[in-house]
């Protein structure tokens, strides 16, 4: 069974094309990086894989599940780290509450159990922030906030980990720790799907890179995609 199957997916908003016949597979667990400029449809693709956006054409399978027909099953399998810029930091919420949201996605409605609290604390421990368990989320630095969002995704105990621009606005310490965590998860059999607008952000961690600009421009080993990326950049000068 394929981890991810995306077949001829087209997404439109108000008649404008956001994704055009995007096709790719992830057959075995790996670090799969999606790179492209702002407005290329990278976030739209992640949200479509999660079943949050309905394509006008094509289909998607996540470990055999249709995300539109089986959204709960898919979200139990996937830990999702959105762009930090999309969060409302005015809401007074504690770090522990952010991380426990991941457990709520996995187990559904009901009081949190000891198992939930243990999983949330372990996730925070992995990203090096257990000491901030009871701190207000908005008091944290940008890098710390990103690591808390990663902990929320890890608390799901995911089979697939999806991250949208995880290195944007983070300090070097947080970037290194996030990189190390993703490598560790990949070695444990978790499929990591990482989005970035900068190919240099992902070269040291990627097993496979896809260059996206509404449609798939290139896909393959990082070095080969980098050569294609550079050749396009030079030809546009």
**Separation CA 50–CA 10 (nearest Å):** 15
* Residue the block writes with tokens 């979200």: 75
**Does an H or E element contain 229, and which?**
helix 222-235
Q: What is the pLDDT of residue 235?
A: 56
Q: What is the pLDDT of residue 89?
A: 64
Which structural domain, as residue segments, surrounds residue 173?
Answer: 4-235
Report pLDDT digits (tens) over 182-211. Answer: 999 999 999 999 999 888 888 889 999 999
Average pLDDT over residues 5-32: 96
Bridge partners (DSSP) listed for residue 9: 22
Mean pLDDT of the chain: 91
Q: What is the pLDDT of residue 112?
A: 85
Query: Does pLDDT of 234 surpass 60?
Result: no
| CATH code at position 98 | 3.40.50.300
Query: Does pLDDT of 13 surpass 80?
Result: yes
**Separation CA 88–CA 25 (nearest Å):** 34
Q: How far is CA 148 from CA 96, 105, 170, 236, in A?
A: 9, 16, 12, 39
Give the 3-state secondary structure of residue 48. Answer: helix
Name the residue with higher pLDDT: 234 or 51. 51
Q: What is the pLDDT of residue 135?
A: 95
Q: What contacts 165, CB < 8 A, 6 or more positions away?
A: 83, 84, 195, 196, 197
Q: What is the pLDDT of residue 77?
A: 93
Tell me how crowded residue 144 is: count the other CB atoms within 10 A of its CB.
21
Query: Does pLDDT of 220 surpass 80?
Result: yes
Report pLDDT digits (tens) over 45-77. Answer: 999 999 999 999 999 999 999 999 999 899 889
Q: How many domains does the chain have?
A: 1
Q: What is the pLDDT of residue 168?
A: 86
- Out of 14-28, 40-54, 162-176, 182-196, pick the least confident: 162-176
Query: Does pLDDT of 85 surpass 70?
Result: no
DSSP state of 100: H
Query: Does pLDDT of 88 surpass 80?
Result: no
Q: What contacts 52, CB < 8 A, 6 or more positions away?
A: none
**Separation CA 111–CA 66 (nearest Å):** 29
Q: What is the pTM of this model?
A: 0.91
């Amino acid at each position: 069974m394929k981890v991810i199957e995306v077949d001829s997916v087209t997404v439109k908003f108000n008649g404008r094309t956001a994704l055009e016949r995007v096709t790719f597979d992830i057959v075995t667990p790996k670090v799969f990086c999606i790179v492209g400029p702002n407005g290329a449809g990278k976030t739209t693709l992640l949200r479509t894989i999660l079943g949050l956006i309905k394509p006008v054409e094509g289909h998607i399978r996540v470990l055999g599940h249709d995300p539109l027909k089986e959204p709960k099953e898919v979200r139990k399998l996937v830990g999702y780290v959105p762009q930090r810029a999309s969060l409302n930091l005015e809401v007074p919420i504690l770090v522990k509450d952010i991380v426990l949201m991941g457990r709520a996605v996995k187990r559904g409605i009901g009081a949190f159990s000891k198992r939930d609290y243990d999983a949330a604390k372990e996730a925070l421990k992995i990203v090096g922030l257990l000491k901030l368990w009871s701190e207000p989320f908005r008091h944290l630095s940008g890098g710390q906030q990103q690591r808390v969002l990663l902990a929320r995704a890890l608390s799901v105990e995911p089979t697939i980990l999806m991250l949208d621009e995880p290195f944007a606005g983070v300090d070097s310490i947080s970037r290194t720790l996030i990189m190390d965590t993703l490598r560790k998860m990949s070695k444990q059999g978790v499929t990591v799907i990482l989005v970035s607008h900068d190919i240099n952000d992902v070269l040291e961690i990627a097993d496979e890179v896809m260059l996206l600009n509404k449609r798939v421009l290139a896909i393959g080993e990082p070095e080969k995609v980098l050569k294609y990326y550079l050749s396009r950049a030079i030809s546009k000068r």
